[in-house]
Amino acid sequence: MSAELHTLTGAYALHALDPAEEAAFERHLDACPACAQEVRELSATAARLGLAVSVPPPDGFKEAVLRRVDGVRQEPPRTVAGPAAGAGRTGRKLSRWALAACLAGVAALGGTTVWQHREAQDARQEARQARQVTDQVADVLGAPDARTRGARLPNGASGTVTVSAERDKAVFVAASLAEPPSGKVYQLWFDDAGTMRPAGLMDPGRTTQTVLMAGAVGDASGMGITVEPTGGSEHPTSRPVALMRLPA
């Protein structure tokens, strides 16, 4: 039986074991560092594959980029051959003419151009923040001390939480989660010896997502999910949708 348990690392990482197999394998993990390490690596890899959908582009990003296209001059085609006689002077004249035209256009657009620039700046800032979150998620999932625990959630959904004690951070991955009621959102919580501490909100429009839980793990021994009003709550206002123990 022990030899067979060594072959279940992939199925365990993907939550494909039945309850009896899962319980037996978790007992095996406590005594098998090699399998524990392989499960961490496989879980991190599976979670990384979902990052593309777990951190969506910020709202309005496409529209902001399209607006900015009108204000960015297209680069001229590059040629390998050297310039013909007189081409340099002509090119400089054309460049000066193009620059004058651009300056005239900017003066005419006035406040509209400034507004578009600010919109583009906001979009770039949001994109940078999204990349930072992605990097932080990958850092937790790939941490040498990362530990993962999975659970089956209501209505066929599943959840996986990965904790790095060294980073003092946790990442939660949900799959096939039912959409919350209109005007509601799923909120994550750290369980500090029975006291629930806010740990971030989930995107109500996505049934599968990866979330970097807000705040430090600290002494939390578990986590929970509740349905809260849009914007979240300071304390849970509904019965938990799910409660999970954090991996030791």
Shared domain check, 229 and 208? yes
Same domain, 182 and 221: yes
Q: Could you give the count of Cα atoms lying within 13 Å of 28 in the half-sphere of its Cβ?
A: 21
pLDDT at site 214: 92
Q: Quick one: average pLDDT of 44-53? A: 56
User: Are residue 64 and residue 9 in the same domain, yes or no?
Assistant: no
Q: What is the mean pLDDT of the chain?
A: 75
User: Residues 148, 227: one domain?
Assistant: yes
Which residue pairs, CB below 8 angstroms and at least 24 apart, start in 191-195? 191/220, 191/221, 191/222, 191/223, 191/224, 191/243, 192/218, 192/219, 192/220, 192/221, 193/219, 193/221
Q: Which residue has the higher pLDDT, 100 or 177?
A: 177
Domain span at residue 19 reads: 1-49
Q: How many CB atoms lie within 10 A of CB 71?
A: 15
Cα dihedral: 139, 144, 149, 150 (round 10): 50
The yes-or-no verdict on residue 185 having pLDDT over 90 is yes
How far apart are alpha carbons 185 and 35 in whole angstroms?
Answer: 36
- pLDDT given at position 245: 93
Answer whether residue 80 shows pLDDT above 90. no
Q: For residue 32, is it within any domain?
A: yes
> Is 137 in the same domain as 220?
no
Residue 74 falls within a domain, yes or no?
Answer: no
Q: Measured between alpha carbons, how far is residue 24 from residues 27, 40, 169 in Å?
A: 5, 18, 28
Asked if residue 68 has pLDDT above 80, the reply is no
Q: Which residues on neighbouring strands pair with residue 188, listed in sequence order?
A: 225
222 touches 244 (CB < 8 A): yes
- 152 near 15, Cβ under 8 Å? yes
Residues 246 and 178 in one domain: yes
- Do both 153 and 248 map to the same domain? yes
Q: Can you point out the beta strands (E) in 193-241?
A: 195-201, 209-212, 222-229
Considering the domain architecture, whether residues 6 and 64 belong to the same structural domain is answered as no
Considering the domain architecture, whether residues 163 and 115 belong to the same structural domain is answered as no
Q: What per-residue confidence (pLDDT) applies to 236?
A: 94
133 and 151 housed in the same domain? no
Closest Cα partner for 51 from 169, 112, 142, 120? 142
Q: How far apart are CA 244 and CA 16, in angstroms?
A: 18
